[in-house]
Structure 1
Amino acid sequence: MLLRRASGISLLELLVGMTIGLLLLLAVSGLLVNLLGSQARERRQIRLGAMVDASLSLMAMELRRAGYWDSDGGAGTNPYGRIYIEQSGRCLRYGYDTPPNQPKGGQRYFAFRLKLDDAQRGRLQRLSADEAGWKCDAADAKWDDLSKPDIGIIDTLRFTEDRSDHAIGVEVAAHTPPGGEEEKLDIRTSIALRNRPAVEVR
């Protein structure tokens, strides 16, 4: 009587197949981890860029209004006619009158500054005040945050006078908070002063 040879996969073939499958799984897992890490970095960078861009857009809009005075043709000195750059360029004070066709009144004096907290994390802030409270060292409660440390930490805010173009130069440097690969952003721009207020550096 003839014995039939058993058919199937030998132990050696099974081990080789499992090894190849494991190597393929490791390769795919590595690609997936890299893809997810890249997406996380891109999200962090996009959020940081959007935050800084929104702050700079507000600064640009406000500084273009700086110095506006609705004098109704009357004589006198423009109370909003000066911009002050203080604290080695980390704070800028400006003002403007109520735009036409809007009710008069309200706070017309403003400022932007870089504020460091106890952990030395920088934030962009904006002040709205009356003339008496119009100071770079006004109480912290009077300032509104333009940036959030959980999205981006501001390392540098510097305002400079650009006399050749009657403009204000703005430099902002920021980085993402700890918790992943650090992303950095460094922006330099110039904002034209439409109403041509005088700029005083203190």
Structure 2
Amino acid sequence: MRRERGLTLLELLIGMTIGLLLLLAVSGLLVGLLGEQSRERRQAQLGAMIDASLSLMAMELRRAGFWNGAGPESDNPYRGLYIEQGGRCLRYAYDDPAGKSPPGPRYFVFRLHEQRIQRRVSDAAGWRCDAAAGWDDLSKSDIGTVESLTFSREAGGAAIGIAVRASASRGQEQERLSIHTSVTLRNRPQVAGP
């Protein structure tokens, strides 16, 4: 009589336990990789948002003080650049380089308001940091919050320093980003403020 060959109940339970442990290890590794990918995506989105805002600010500040008119520099209506509200707001202006007729609004403001970087385009009458309407958000609160935005006078007024701190959070995880850049002013506006 031949003896039947197969697995005993004990062997089957040991095999299932080993398989379950391997499955748990692989799924834990997969969860860790997905969490890391999510964190890197949040950090990249936050970096891209802040980089786009800083690039626009730098491009605009290089135009600050430009005047397409003739006459002495003291007559330049766009020559002032003002850092206000303890460095959280910056006002500047420039003339239309193409000499369009009629000229559009040439007075601008950047500020931090309710954890968002904002920009406002206006005429000379509405050229204020505390204006109630007409602001465009440069940062998006669904991507991250801007904790601080500070403008400062650098190189004796020949440059403007911009410092930004932002964060993006999901649950208890939080990504932080701090950037400081300096923008050289091409048209030598008169910088007032800290």
TM-score interval, smaller chain: over 0.9
Q: Which of 71, 77, 83 matches 1:74?
A: 71
Counterpart of 1:197 in structure 2 is: 189
Amino acid at match of 1:74: G
Amino acid at match of 1:97: D
CA 1:54–1:33 in structure 2 vs 1: closer, same or farther (change >3 Å)?
Answer: same
Cα deviation per residue 1:81-117 (whole Å; 9 max; x = unaligned)?
010000000000000000126444111000100001x
**1:134 aligns to 2:127 (yes or no):** yes
Would the aligned equivalents of 1:41 and 1:183 in 2 still touch at CA under 8 Å? yes
Counterpart of 2:42 in structure 1 is: 44
Separation in structure 1 between the aligned mates of residue 21 and residue 14 of structure 2, nearest angstrom? 11
Q: How well do the aligned residues superpose, as a CA RMSD in angstroms?
A: 1.5
Amino acid at match of 1:135: R
Separation in structure 2 between the aligned mates of residue 17 and residue 106 of structure 1, nearest angstrom? 78
Would the aligned equivalents of 1:149 and 1:177 in 2 still touch at CA under 8 Å? no
Task: Give the TM-score normalised by the residue count of structure 1.
Answer: 0.91
Would the aligned equivalents of 2:157 and 2:190 in 1 still touch at CA under 8 Å? no
Shift of 1:163: 3.0
Amino acid at match of 2:118: Q
Give the number of equivalent residue pairs.
193
Task: Give the TM-score normalised by the residue count of structure 2.
Answer: 0.95
Separation in structure 2 between the aligned mates of residue 173 and residue 53 of structure 1, nearest angstrom? 12
Q: Where do 5+ consecutive residues of structure 1 fail to align?
A: 117-121
Shift of 1:165: 6.8
Separation in structure 2 between the aligned mates of residue 100 and residue 194 of structure 1, nearest angstrom? 17
Q: Where do 5+ consecutive residues of structure 2 fail to align?
A: none
After the TM superposition, which segments of 4 or more aligned residues of structure 1 sit over 4 Å from their partners?
101-104
Separation in structure 2 between the aligned mates of residue 12 and residue 92 of structure 1, nearest angstrom? 76
Separation in structure 2 between the aligned mates of residue 183 and residue 115 of structure 1, nearest angstrom? 21
